[in-house]
Amino acid sequence: MFNIRRGAALTLLAGSVVLGSCSAAVTIPTVVCVGEATTYLDWLNGDFKPDTAGTIADPGATTGDLLATVMSRGYITVSTDPDYAPQSSVKPDGTYEGFDIDVATEIATRLGVDVHWETPGWDAITAAGWQGRWDMSVGSMTITTPRKSILDFTQPYYYNPAFLAASTRSKVTKTSDLKFTLPSGATATTLPTDANCAEAIKAGRTEFDLWISSGPTIDAAIAAGTPMVKVGAPVFTEDLSVAFDKSGPDDAALLFKVDQIIGAMHTDGTLTELSKKWYDGADLTVAPAS
């Protein structure tokens, strides 16, 4: 199993399967497109290690903590992906919209501060070492064991089903249509973001017939006219959380405060309301049954 970058997937067409009759054969690469630095890539490579936030203690004092800095300056800086609908996307007027945008804005409101946005690459967000460029990530980040070594996480604010999607050209509509087993039989190819995989399929790039991403992201791409279908049941489900940089300013008080806010948003129905708003009436804020 290995990863390749943009444009290199063409070299993998030799590793493909053929569906259909001889008169209408369709060559389906065993390549599955995923965004860089994602859990979808980890899952395909056999490296996915889901985890939980763990206990978050009240540190008591806020002096010297990032919380005190945020409250003093009157705003909190949040990283977001401008091309990840319906979680977050940029509107024609340059402002942002989406589920993550609304969640981050509500957190800021309950802190009593404004929200400012930064749009770094996903690999930079998940690698930590933010150097104070933004204070927290409200970007549908999955809690994993490797990430917990460099990032602090709140309790999940929602739970995301990851799906396989296939181009309509491929005629794949169910997992049994594949002539290989996921994930072990597939080879991952990465593009910078999940959205780039959908764009490649929409552009007719046949080496990108298969894609794994967030179910809502796939639904949004289909609604936007991408010729593909969502295949089968979720391949796995992720616990998605607000993240903070362990290597940045002390954040114990801010982590505790934001975790309490998220708990309150679960209890008072705010997260459910926002989920139904952005996910066609579905409530993704309830933990799946174990």
- CATH architecture of the domain covering 15-48+161-236: 3-Layer(aba) Sandwich (3.40)
Strands, E assignment, the chain? 16-19, 26-29, 31-35, 75-79, 83-84, 88-90, 96-97, 114-118, 136-142, 151-167, 187-191, 210-214, 228-245
pLDDT at 23: 39
**Is the pLDDT assigned to residue 202 strictly greater than 90?**
yes
CA 231 to chain centre: 18
pLDDT at 16: 52
What mean pLDDT comes out for the span 122-129? 96
**Is the pLDDT assigned to residue 7 strictly greater than 60?**
no
**Is the pLDDT assigned to residue 19 strictly greater than 70?**
no
**Is the pLDDT assigned to residue 15 strictly greater than 60?**
no
Q: Are 65 and 253 in contact (CB under 8 A)?
A: yes
**Parts of the chain belonging to CATH 3.40.190.10:** 66-157+243-278
- pLDDT per residue over 95-105, tens digit each? 999 999 999 99
pTM of the predicted model, to two decimals?
A: 0.89
pLDDT at 1: 33
The DSSP letter of residue 100 is H
pLDDT at 66: 98
**Is the pLDDT assigned to residue 6 strictly greater than 50?**
no
pLDDT at 233: 95
Q: Is residue 156 reached through a cis peptide bond, with omega within 30 degrees of 0 on the bond before it? A: no
pLDDT at 89: 95
Q: Mean pLDDT across the chain, nearest whole number?
A: 91
What mean pLDDT comes out for the span 34-39? 96
CA gap 123, 79 in Å, rounded: 12
Angle between helices 270-278 and 99-111 (to 10 degrees): 150
pLDDT at 2: 32
Hey, what CATH topology would domain 66-157+243-278 get? D-Maltodextrin-Binding Protein; domain 2 (3.40.190)
- pLDDT per residue over 129-153, tens digit each? 999 999 999 999 999 999 999 999 9
Strand-strand pairing, 31-35 and 210-214: parallel
Buried (b) or exposed (e) across 258-269, using 16+ Cβ within 10 A? Answer: bbebbeebbeee
pLDDT at 25: 57
What mean pLDDT comes out for the span 34-59? 96
What mean pLDDT comes out for the span 113-122? 97
pLDDT at 48: 97
